[in-house]
A and B are shown apart, each in its own frame.
Chain A
Amino acid sequence: MPQGSETTAASSHDAVHMGVAAWAAWAPGFADVEAWQEWDGGLLPADDGSAPEVKFVDALLRRRLGRLTRMALHVAHECAAGRSPAATVFASRHGELARSVGLLHAIAGGELPSPAAFSLSVHNTAAGIHSIVHHDHAPSSAIAAGEESLLWALVEAATRLRDLHDAHEAGVLLVFADETLPDEYAPWRPSAEATHALALWLVPGRDLTLSWRPSAEACDAQPAPATQPLALALLACRLGRRPELAWSGERLSVQGRWHA
């Protein structure tokens, strides 16, 4: 009974599935879908510090935005393409860490920290600005969950999808963005670090299926650090660079597929 076994897998605690109606991604040197088509699925080029322009944001609001927020707003805008989501899920492992470091330096130096920098350093900065820019009143979550932040954002989005009343109209907008760490955190730099952002317009369906288990169970040897962030491993799967997702982090191993 394939149908029955699928249902069982989907309702268990270690698997999730959903449809992906649209996606958008950004990284330095990868401004649009055409650029990603040229990507070989491997390491991204060195971070050149560039940022998306986000011209759709009012200039007075735009002037203060940090790069991570610009990246998140950019992919969200591209992916949603004017549609209003039923819910938004924003995720990042480290958030606007560069801004927090600036605030900490000010405090350590005995200066008053900047209120504008503080207001834009919180983990729901991108979610809040997105809501203001698009007059979007949909419920929103901001998730940070270590190197598996994208995985748990997808679980959150799947939960939101289950609550949708009109599956044909609405979707859930998931936005993930991360930056390379500021130099102050160099000793803790993750092995699979990259500046990148990914947005997914999620609907009920099975385009994307993921399952996971503790890395210690998945391999006999000591779990090795991930060689690529989960979002990029997933994107490589979508672009056909790899037939299946097989990502392994320090805590969890994630398997799955993302078909067009």
Chain B
Amino acid sequence: MTELESAIKELIIEALELEDLAPDDIVTDAPLFGEGLGLDSIDALELGIALKKRFGLELRSDDPDLKQHFRSVESLARLIATRQPQGV
């Protein structure tokens, strides 16, 4: 698990009030929504705001790849790394 992936997991736990979970409980390449972690659409909105605050990530609701970006911690890390090539 990269440093960025670890930071995203901690952010998910904090922003989505999942205090019962530890970062290691979130599987890096498992789905976050529906199956897997079981998050819902409100979580998606909440997570979008948290990612903007923490990583300055700008998301557009008309981005056709948005759903893919939010699939897992791994895909979110890839997106953030692409937008911020210098790393976090």
Contacts and interface: CB of A to CB of B under 8 A. Distances in A.
Contact of A60 (B38, B45, B46): B38
A112 B20 contact: no
Interface residues of B, number: 15
Contacts of A111: 53
Interface of B: 16-20, 38-40, 42-43, 45-46, 49, 52-53
Contacts of B19: 63
B42 A116 contact: yes
Given A112-B52, A116-B46, 18 more contacts: A59-B20, A60-B38, A60-B39, A60-B40, A63-B16, A63-B20, A64-B17, A64-B42, A111-B53, A112-B53, A114-B46, A114-B49, A115-B45, A115-B49, A116-B16, A116-B43, A116-B45, A119-B42
Interface in A83-127: 111-112, 114-116, 119
Contacts of A60: 38-40
Interface of A: 59-60, 63-64, 111-112, 114-116, 119
Contacts of B49: 112, 114-115
Contacts of A112: 49, 52-53
A100 B38 CA distance: 27
Contacts of A59: 20
A115 B42 contact: yes
